Amino acid sequence: RILGAISVTTTTATTSRDQLLSLAGPLSRVTKDFGPVRVIHGVDLQVRQGEFCVFVGPSGCGKSTLLRMIAGLEETSAGQIMIENQDVTDADPADRGVAMVFQTYALYPHMTVAQNMGFGLKMNGHPKAQIAAKVAEAARILKLDPLLDRKPANLSGGQRQRVAIGRAIVRGPKVFLFDEPLSNLDAELRVEMRAEIARLHRELGATMIYVTHDQVEAMTMADKIVVLRSGRIEQVGSPMELYDDPDNRFVAGFIGSPA
């Protein structure tokens, strides 16, 4: 079943929002310009529930912008975003059922691991016992139990990344959003964390949208790869489809198959 779809269109799109809705029910529409500059051009996309969807493309192609629009961290200039049949285009980030994991971790240095993971729930007024239970569960999944009382300064890069992921898990999102979460890690740790995130995906069964400029990461992790170039989708497909049957030279060059 289709979980939601992102449709990013230009403001001159000929199809109306209503038409799109009646076409596909769970389809969603979104559009965004930075001032006079259009950085995403007419993107249509559907992401299935439980799918591991990877946005890949060169630096500046719009991967982060697209992800931030889904997260609600960037306003959409036009179009619509739907998540599990709900139009979240104009919804508050906290009300979208998404949780984002950033490249820079964005942990609070003065808080312990447990406090960092529970902070969002605390701000939303969840009872203490419930927060503790959710933090304990996330810590178990991520094998962070022995580190719950540590401060971020006393963690390795990989451990910090786990805490950042834990903070997303405790919120129980419908969709996890990752923006190049491993690019600050060294090569060896990157391989380890890739496997970790893949395990998490299997264990949680959650929908994940994962941004990377790393072709290997895309090929090894994705159910579905979305190849972006200059704010447009070049091709969408499974790793094998893109590898065996690239639509054009750009995709072929990017995914590494001889054209």
Q: Which residues bind Mg ion (CB under 5 A)?
A: 64
175 Cβ contact list (under 8 Å, min separation 6): 3, 4, 47, 70, 83, 96, 97, 98, 99, 206, 207, 208, 209
Using the rule CB under 6 A, is 76 a contact of ligand ADP?
Answer: no
Q: Where are the alpha helices (DSSP H) in the chain?
A: 17-24, 63-71, 113-123, 128-142, 157-169, 187-204, 215-221, 239-244, 249-255
Q: Pick one of 15, 16, 60, 110: the residue that binds ligand ADP (CB under 6 A).
A: 60
Helix-, strand-, coil-residue percentages of the chain, each rounded to 5: 40, 20, 40
Could you tell me the CA-to-CA distances from 99 to 49, 62, 65, 72, 179 in Å, in that order?
A: 15, 19, 15, 10, 11
Using the rule CB under 6 A, is 63 a contact of ligand ADP?
Answer: yes
Kindly report each contact of residues 238-247 with a partner whose C-beta sits within 8 Å and lies 24 or more positions away, as own/partner. Answer: 243/219
Decide whether 106 or 240 has the Cβ nearer to ligand ADP.
Answer: 106
The two counts, helices (H) then strands (E), for the chain are 9, 12
Using the rule CB under 6 A, is 62 a contact of ligand ADP?
Answer: yes
Query: Residue 12 touches which of Mg ion, ligand ADP, none (CB < 5 to 8 A by kind)?
Result: none
Choose the binding region for ligand ADP from 19-27, 55-63, 183-191, 244-252 (rule: CB under 6 A).
Answer: 55-63
Decide whether 46 or 64 has the Cβ nearer to Mg ion.
Answer: 64
Q: Pick one of 61, 164, 185, 209: the residue that binds ligand ADP (CB under 6 A).
A: 61
Choose the binding region for ligand ADP from 13-21, 61-69, 96-104, 138-146 (rule: CB under 6 A).
Answer: 61-69
Using the rule CB under 6 A, is 59 a contact of ligand ADP?
Answer: yes
Decide whether 26 or 57 has the Cβ nearer to ligand ADP.
Answer: 57
- CA dihedral (202, 169, 194, 56) positive or negative: positive
Using the rule CB under 6 A, is 39 a contact of ligand ADP?
Answer: yes
| Interface with ligand ADP: number of residues (CB under 6 A) | 10
Using the rule CB under 6 A, is 32 a contact of ligand ADP?
Answer: no
Residues that bind ligand ADP in the complex, under the rule CB under 6 A: 34, 39, 57, 59-65
